[in-house]
Structure 1
Amino acid sequence: MVESDNLRYTRIALNNGSGAIPALGFGTLIPDPMATRTATKAALEAGFRQLDAAERYRNEKEVGEAMQEVFKAGKMKREEVFVATKLWNNNHRPERVKPAFEASLKKLQLDYVDLYLIHTPFAFQPGDEQDPRDANGNVIYDKGVTLLDTWRALEGLVDEGRCKAIGLSDVSLAQVKEIFEAGRIKPAVVHVESHPYLPQWDLLDYCRNNGIVLQAFAALGHSSEPKLLEDPVITAIAKRVNKTPAQVLLAWAIQRGTALLTTSKTPSRIKENFEVSTLPQDAMREINEGIKSRIRFNAVVDTGVPGFIPRGKGG
């Protein structure tokens, strides 16, 4: 077997903030809090140096505990880990942004985060309810605030130095352009669903041309049907290069110039997902040209309601 290369250690320069983001990131969207803690620790020990958290996942506390455990054991320093978290929809009003950010910092047990994202461009009714609904079960949106209003509040956090870079999540190309053109501080990262069934080439081109990092979530298709990991193009390449389908998909994402997130609760799979290496150019071409399916697995971009997070108490 060919010796592993350095693809897994790829870092992508940011237009502002903490210098560069590790391309290979670990997502902490894990419903069970204890599993979150175990998986986050396993990810750091496997070599992941980028963690993606969110107020909406309701497990920032466990992510923070896992990080502190690893830091206190002397296995790595805080500066070596790029930490991102996100502002949820019920906190879009400018006066709610800083308290929400500070609450996240406290749960994560950090003095600063490397990246703070607006989780979706949809503002929900302000308040403690993460998933406000009317009597008919419809989401109650907040028409009194714009995405740019919220963005300007995030710019204020950067000015204070406790948030190194800011970005957008679950947005369209038009929304990215709006904020890029109007913002005093430009988005450093745009975090969207992307994989060979949803390559987002137009958005990726715009990001490349404007120094924005596109970060892909659901890079492995999130186990949804049709299963990306079972796509014949992907499985054939995996067999040929002696890698797993997951490793092929993650390598593809890095080699096309994006950062990505992968999530698992299983330590062996977490380790496997870090063991990526460079694909030959013909394999890249086969994925880019040979896969014609176009599927979006998460409808959050249409409603602001997350497709991968179960509705539970308080949302």
Structure 2
Amino acid sequence: MVEPDNLRYTKLSLNTGSGAIPALGFGTLIPDPIATRNATKAALEAGFRLLDTAERYRTEKEVGEAMQEVFKAGKIERQDVFLVTKLWNNNHRPERAKLAFEASLKRLGLDYVDLYLIHTPFAFQPGDDQDPRDANDQVIYDKGVTLLDTWRALEGLVDEGKCKAIGVSDFSLEQVKEIFEASRIKPAVVHVESHPYLPQWELLDYCRKNGIVLQAFAPLGHGLPPKLLEDPVITAIAKRVNKTPAQVLLAWAIQRGTALLTTSKTPSRIKENFELSTLPEDAMRDISEGIKSRVRFNLVAETGVPGFIPRGK
């Protein structure tokens, strides 16, 4: 195997002036609570310094417990970890957004988060049901609140010092522009599905020009067909540079200037996903220019209903 270099320690500056976000992050969308806690702890011990969770994932409590366990062992401190969580669709109304944020802090056992995201641009019917449906099993949307209303509520959380930065998730380029142009506090991060089958070049270009970090989820294609990890361009490069297909894809994401999230329950795979090395320029070019397939695996950006979270959970 090629010896890892410093690529895995890459940080991207935030437009808030509040520091930088680790490019390589660990996502905690893992259904089983015990597996979530164990995987989060393994990720921190492997070297990951960004943890991503969400109200909707229902993993905040376990992520918080894993963090406290590692902190108490004296291995790392709170300020070493960049913690991200998200506001779910049923809490878009400003009065609900503040309460939802406070509830997330309580579950995490923290007094601040580093980044708080609007999970999707879709407002659902306000209430305790995270997936409100009508008699025909159609999502009940909330037309009584705008994205800017919700964004203003998040700006207030920054003013209070409870989150250092705010951003958006699953937004289109047009929706990002809407918030960016109307906001007092600019979005620091745009969190979207992105990989060689969905490179999001236009959105990435806009983010670069405006000092916004694009953070990619599902950078490995989420294991769904067509399998990105089995793409002949990726497997050929992996063989050439003596790395796994996953390591190739994660390195490509960082080298093109994005942050990313990777998820696993297996300690050996978690460690492997951290051991990245810089790809040669020809490999970067082969991926960016040689892969022509275009696939979106998660339709959350079109409906607000996440494709990776089971209904009723």
Distance 2:74 2:104 in 1: 24
Distance 2:96 2:80 in 1: 30
Task: Could you tell me which runs of 5 or more consecutive residues in structure 1 were left unpaired when the two chains were aligned.
Answer: none
| Deviation sequence 1:89-131 (CA, Å, 0-9, x none) | 0000000011100000010010100000000000000000000
Give the 5 Å matches for 1:58-77.
58-77=58-77
Count of residue correspondences: 313
Other structure's SS at 2:66 match: helix
2:184 matched residue in structure 1: 184
1:153 matched residue in structure 2: 153
Distance 1:187 1:159 in 2: 14
2:163 matched residue in structure 1: 163
2:261 matched residue in structure 1: 261
Contact in 1 for aligned 2:3/2:277 (Cα 8 Å): no
Cα offset, 1:17, TM superposition: 5.6
2:246 matched residue in structure 1: 246
Task: Could you tell me which runs of 5 or more consecutive residues in structure 2 were left unpaired when the two chains were aligned.
Answer: none
Other structure's SS at 1:51 match: strand
Residues 1:2 and 1:264: Cα distance change in structure 2 (over 3 Å): closer
TM-score (norm 2): 0.99
Contact in 2 for aligned 1:17/1:164 (Cα 8 Å): no
Cα offset, 1:294, TM superposition: 0.3
Give the 5 Å matches for 1:1-315.
2-16=2-16, 18-313=18-313
Amino acid at match of 2:124: F
Other structure's SS at 2:141 match: coil
Amino acid at match of 1:84: V
TM-score (norm 1): 0.98
Contact in 2 for aligned 1:17/1:165 (Cα 8 Å): no
Cα offset, 1:4, TM superposition: 2.1
Distance 1:12 1:229 in 2: 26
| Deviation sequence 1:48-102 (CA, Å, 0-9, x none) | 0000000000111001000000000001000000000000000000000111000
Distance 2:305 2:17 in 1: 29
Percent identical among aligned pairs is 87
Amino acid at match of 2:95: E
Distance 1:14 1:5 in 2: 23
Other structure's SS at 1:55 match: coil
